[in-house]
C-alpha cells in the first residue's frame, strides 16, 4: 500500500504540474469579455484580419492631416469631452473642415496609433475590443453624401454597446470620436433618440467682418448632392451587376498572364488591358477586381461620372472600352482625356487604383490622333483568344456519333 500511495503521489504531482502549465497557457491566449447578462465570459485570442485593416485605415487617415493645419478653437472642446466623457460627436458644414479639426484634436492627445482604428459601418464594431484598442474614429456613421437610413439604424443598434465601453471596465476604457455632417446628424436625431448625442462639438466655418460665413451654403450644397445621389447609387448598382456578369469568365483566365498583370498593377496603381476584339480584356479586369470588396469598386461609363464618386471609400475605378465599344468616337476620347488628368492625380497621390480596357487598334489610334497619356502608359497586351478547346469538344461529339 505504501508503494501504491507513493506512485499515486508521483502521478498527482505530474497532473498538478501539467494543470499549472495548461492554465498558464490559457491565461495568455484568453481574454475576459462581458457577456449578454453582464457576467464575464472568456474568449480565445485570435488574429483578426479586419481589425488590422481598421488600424491601417486609421494610420493612413491620420497621415493625411497637413502638419501646418491651423485648427479652429473647437479643437479644445473636442479634447475636453474625450478626456471627461471618452466620447464625442464632431460635426460641421461642408466648408468648416470639421473632419480635419477632429484629426487635429486626436493628434494633440497621447493616443497610440497602433491601438487606434477607423470604422465606417456597424459591422466593424464586433472586431473592436478595449483589450486591443484605445481609440475609435467613427467616420460618416450615418451616411456620406446624405442621410442613410439603413446605416443609421444599424449604428443605433450598437449605441448602448459603444457607451458601455466608454464607461470603463476594470480600468479598460475606450474613447470614441464620431465625425459626421451637421445636416445628416440632425436627420439621424429625428429617428434615433439616444444620450450618445448629448456630447456634440459643432465646428463652424472661419468667419470675419470681411469674409462672413455663407449661411446658405449648406442648403445649396445639399441640392447639388441630392442631384448627384441617384447617379451615384446607379453607378454602384451597375458596378455590382457588371462584376456578377463576368464573375464566371474571370475565373477561367490565364493564370500566368493574370499574375504578371497583377504585379504591374500593384507597382503602378494603374493598368491598361488591351488586345484584339473578344480577347477577354473585361474578364481579366474583373479577375483583378476580385481582390477588392465590390463596395470599393466603381465602373465609370461616362467621364462626368467621376464627379459623383465617393473618393473616401472608393479604391478601384474600372473603365471598360473608353474609346467606344462599338465604334471609335474622337469627341468622347477628348472628354475621357480631361477626366484622366484628375484620375491620374488621384493615382499618383495613392488615393485610387485604375483598370482600363481598350481594343488595341483603337488605343493606338487614340494615342496617334490625340496624344499619349501617362494614365495609359502601363499596358498589358492580351493574346487573341483561342478556340482550340471548343474545336476539340466538337470533334469528340462527332466521333461519338
Which domains, from first to last, does the chain contain?
49-203 (3.40.50.300), 231-381 (3.40.50.300)
Take residue 284 and report the three cell numbers written for it: 481579366
Between the ranges 3-17, 53-67, 77-91, where is the mean pLDDT highest? 77-91
Phi-psi category of residue 278: left, alpha or beta, with phi > 0 → left and psi -120 to 50 → alpha: left
User: With bands split at pLDDT 50, 70 and 90, how would you rate the model's confidence at 278?
Assistant: confident
Mean pLDDT across 394-401: 45
How far apart are the C-alpha atoms of 265 and 255, rounded to whole Å? 15
Strand 30-34, strand 40-44: pairing: antiparallel
Mean pLDDT across 311-317: 84
pLDDT tens-digit readout, 323-378: 888 888 888 888 898 889 888 888 888 888 999 999 999 999 888 888 889 999 99
pLDDT tens-digit readout, 383-393: 886 544 343 44
Spatial contact of 237 and 129, defined as CB atoms under 8 Å apart = no
Q: Kindly tell me if the per-residue pLDDT of 319 is higher than 90.
A: yes
| Residue in this structure with the C-alpha cell 447609387, named with its chain if needed | 233
Spatial contact of 91 and 98, defined as CB atoms under 8 Å apart = yes
> Which has more confidence, 88 or 19?
88
Of the ranges 2-6, 38-42, 164-168, 249-253, which one carries the lowest mean pLDDT score?
38-42
CA 242 to chain centre: 20
Query: What pLDDT score does 167 carry?
Result: 81
* Cβ neighbours of residue 249 closer than 8 Å, sequence gap 6 or more: 280, 282, 283, 286
Please tell me the pTM assigned to this model: 0.47
Q: What is the mean pLDDT of the chain?
A: 81
> Which has more confidence, 225 or 3?
3
What torsion do the CA atoms of 182, 187, 188, 189 make, to the nearest 10 degrees?
90
* Cβ neighbours of residue 342 closer than 8 Å, sequence gap 6 or more: 306
Q: Kindly tell me if the per-residue pLDDT of 277 is higher than 80.
A: yes
pLDDT tens-digit readout, 18-59: 787 777 666 665 555 544 444 555 555 555 688 888 999 899
Mean pLDDT across 275-287: 90
pLDDT tens-digit readout, 179-217: 998 888 988 998 988 989 988 999 876 554 544 544 444
Amino acid at each position: 500500500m505504501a508503494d501504491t500511495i507513493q506512485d499515486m503521489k508521483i502521478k498527482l504531482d505530474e497532473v498538478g504540474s501539467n494543470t499549472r502549465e495548461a492554465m498558464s497557457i490559457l491565461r495568455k491566449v484568453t481574454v475576459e469579455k462581458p457577456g449578454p447578462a453582464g457576467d464575464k465570459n472568456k474568449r480565445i485570442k485570435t488574429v483578426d484580419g479586419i481589425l488590422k485593416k481598421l488600424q491601417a485605415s486609421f494610420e493612413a487617415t491620420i497621415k493625411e492631416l497637413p502638419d501646418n493645419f491651423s485648427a479652429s478653437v473647437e479643437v479644445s472642446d473636442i479634447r475636453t469631452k474625450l478626456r471627461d466623457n471618452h466620447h464625442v460627436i464632431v460635426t460641421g458644414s461642408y466648408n468648416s473642415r470639421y473632419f480635419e479639426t477632429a484629426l487635429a484634436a486626436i493628434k494633440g492627445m497621447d493616443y497610440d496609433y497602433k491601438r487606434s482604428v477607423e470604422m465606417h459601418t456597424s459591422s466593424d464594431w464586433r472586431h473592436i475590443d478595449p483589450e486591443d484598442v484605445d481609440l475609435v474614429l467613427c467616420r460618416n456613421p450615418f451616411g456620406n453624401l446624405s442621410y442613410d437610413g439603413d446605416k443609421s439604424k444599424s449604428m443605433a443598434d450598437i449605441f448602448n454597446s459603444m457607451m458601455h465601453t466608454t464607461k470603463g471596465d476594470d480600468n479598460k476604457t475606450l474613447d470614441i470620436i464620431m465625425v459626421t455632417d451637421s445636416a445628416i446628424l440632425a436627420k439621424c436625431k429625428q429617428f434615433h433618440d439616444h444620450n450618445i448625442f448629448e456630447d456634440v462639438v459643432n465646428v463652424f466655418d472661419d468667419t470675419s467682418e470681411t469674409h462672413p460665413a455663407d449661411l446658405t451654403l449648406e442648403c445649396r450644397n445639399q441640392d447639388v448632392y441630392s442631384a448627384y445621389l441617384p447617379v451615384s447609387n446607379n453607378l454602384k448598382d451597375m458596378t455590382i451587376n457588371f462584376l456578377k456578369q463576368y464573375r464566371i469568365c474571370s475565373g477561367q483566365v490565364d493564370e500566368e498572364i493574370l499574375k504578371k498583370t497583377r504585379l504591374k498593377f500593384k507597382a503602378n496603381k494603374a493598368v491598361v488591358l488591351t488586345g484584339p476584339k473578344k480577347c477577354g480584356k473585361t474578364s481579366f479586369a474583373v479577375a483583378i477586381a476580385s481582390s477588392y470588396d465590390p463596395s470599393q469598386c466603381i465602373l465609370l461609363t461616362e467621364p462626368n461620372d467621376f464627379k459623383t464618386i465617393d473618393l473616401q471609400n472608393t479604391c478601384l475605378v474600372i473603365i471598360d472600352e473608353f474609346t467606344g465599344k462599338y465604334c471609335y468616337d474622337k469627341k468622347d476620347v477628348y472628354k475621357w482625356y480631361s477626366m484622366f488628368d484628375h484620375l491620374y492625380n488621384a493615382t499618383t497621390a495613392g488615393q485610387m487604383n485604375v483598370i482600363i480596357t481598350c481594343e488595341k487598334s483603337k488605343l493606338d489610334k487614340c494615342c496617334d490622333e490625340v496624344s499619349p497619356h501617362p494614365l495609359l502608359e502601363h499596358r498589358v497586351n492580351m493574346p487573341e483568344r483561342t478556340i482550340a478547346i471548343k474545336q476539340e469538344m466538337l470533334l469528340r461529339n462527332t466521333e461519338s456519333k
